[in-house]
Structure 1
Amino acid sequence: MGRNEEMPLLDSLDAVADLVRRRSGLYVRWSRGPHPDTDTLSSRDELTGVPLPGLSANALDVEEWWGDRPVRTWVARRLYDYSHLPRLKGTFTRPWILHGTEAGRGPDNEPLVRDVEPLGWIAASVIDEADHEVTSLPGPWGPMRRDGDRPG
């Protein structure tokens, strides 16, 4: 895997959606980046400390059941779902896109990825765009509660 500073920055939700349209096998990982992850090339179960057979990540490939809905909205949802991680894990936790091979599933049923090819950082402004995309949708969509979020 390459060094963090060598990765390009994806600076719009449309740029991320275009990449998802063009290439399959993409994942988003929230961490300090590829360079720190090269030490182990695996994640650990936070509860038990058990090493996992790959890096914990979240799939960006559009599922068939999504139908002809916008890829942009799909990507926004996938980014929105885990945008709480910097609050929980620290400000150095950032999203980045990788291509890889699924090696199994983690304790939260998340994909565990190996043969990782880092593709780019996702800018903070993209997460803001994703948040706006998801929270402004009509119907039953809306903010999801995450650890640390408490009712008012």
Structure 2
Amino acid sequence: MSDSGRLPTLHTLDELAALVERRPHLYVRWSRGPEADLGRSSSTDDLTGASLPGLSANALDVPPWWQGRPTRVWVARRLHDYSHLPREKGSAVRPWVLHGREAGRGPDNEPLVRSVQPIAWISSRVLKQAKAEVDRQAGLWGSLQRKR
């Protein structure tokens, strides 16, 4: 992994959508960043403490069933689904884009990624734009935050 301080930052939802359209096998990971993950080849299941065979991430590739809907809405949803993580795990947790190879699935059916190449940070402005995009949609849609 490269130095996260040198990673570019995506400042708009449109920049992220364009990146996803140009490059396959991208994921978003919510963590303290590539430097914190440096040398780690796995995540840990919060519930059981089990070591997982890759870093937990969420796929940004647009699936075929999306059927031509805007990529902007797809990536907004992918970001919004896990936007609760900084509140739960600490303000140092931020989203960043990586390229990698899926090595399996975690307990929440999330991709576990190996051969990670950091691509870019995602700014808080993008998160605000993602929330606004989600709020504009007609259906009921919330983050995946679980109540205990």
TM class, shorter-length: over 0.9
User: 5+ unaligned residues in a row in structure 1: which ranges?
Assistant: none
Partner of 1:126: 126
Deviation for aligned residue 1:48: 1.4
Q: Secondary structure at the match of 2:73?
A: helix
Q: Secondary structure at the match of 1:73?
A: helix
What is the letter of the counterpart of residue 147 of structure 1? R
What is the letter of the counterpart of residue 18 of structure 2? D
Partners of 2:111 and 2:144 in 1: how far apart? 22
Partner of 1:146: 145
**Contact 2:81 2:142 (C-alpha < 8 Å) held by counterparts:** no
TM-score (norm 2): 0.95
Deviation for aligned residue 1:72: 0.5
**Contact 1:17 1:72 (C-alpha < 8 Å) held by counterparts:** yes
User: How has the CA–CA distance of structure 1 residues 120 and 144 changed in structure 2, closer, same or farther, with 3 Å as cutoff?
Assistant: closer
Partners of 1:14 and 1:128 in 2: how far apart? 13
Partner of 2:95: 95
Partner of 2:44: 44
**Contact 1:105 1:112 (C-alpha < 8 Å) held by counterparts:** yes
Partner of 2:17: 17
TM-score (norm 1): 0.93
Residue by residue over 1:24-76, the C-alpha shift from the partner in whole angstroms, topping out at 9 and shown as x without a partner, is: 00000000001110132210111111111110000000010000100000010
Q: Output the aligned Cα RMSD.
A: 1.4
Runs of 4+ in 1 over 3 A off after TM superposition: 141-145
Partners of 1:95 and 1:44 in 2: how far apart? 18
Partners of 2:144 and 2:64 in 1: how far apart? 26
Count of matched residue positions in the alignment of Structure 1 and Structure 2: 148
**Percent sequence identity over aligned pairs:** 57
